[in-house]
């Protein structure tokens, strides 16, 4: 199982703060997780195309090629702007 967390506008758009999912065989990195989620369609399909999407694996900043494994926590959040 992996734990996925969604923050800020992503949480609002997707209607959930997070979920626990079985990590399918063949999904080995953050990009694979995004592709898996996009297959759901609807708002989920737009997740992978969010401009400047930020990601963390086990609370460390990550990229789409960052490996993921069972028991990891993966967080997605939009870029933050201040004023």
Query: Tens digit of pLDDT for each residue in 58-79?
Result: 999 999 999 999 999 999 998 7
Q: What is the CATH number of domain 2-77?
A: 3.10.20.30
Pairing of strands 73-77, 54-57: antiparallel
pLDDT score recorded for residue 54: 94
Q: What is the pLDDT of residue 51?
A: 83
Residue with more model confidence, 48 or 40: 40
Indicate the pLDDT class of residue 83, thresholds 50, 70 and 90.
low
Q: What is the mean pLDDT of residues 22-31?
A: 95
Q: What is the mean pLDDT of residues 14-30?
A: 95
Q: Could you give the 3-state DSSP secondary structure of residue 37?
A: helix
């Amino acid at each position: 199982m992996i734990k996925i967390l969604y923050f800020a506008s992503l949480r609002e758009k997707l209607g959930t703060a997070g979920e626990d999912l079985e990590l399918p065989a063949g999904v080995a990195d953050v990009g694979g997780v995004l592709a898996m989620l996009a297959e759901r369609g609807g708002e989920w399909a737009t997740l992978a195309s969010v401009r400047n999407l930020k990601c963390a694996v086990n609370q460390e900043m990550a990229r789409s090629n960052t490996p993921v494994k069972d028991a990891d926590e993966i967080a997605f959040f939009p870029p933050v702007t201040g004023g």
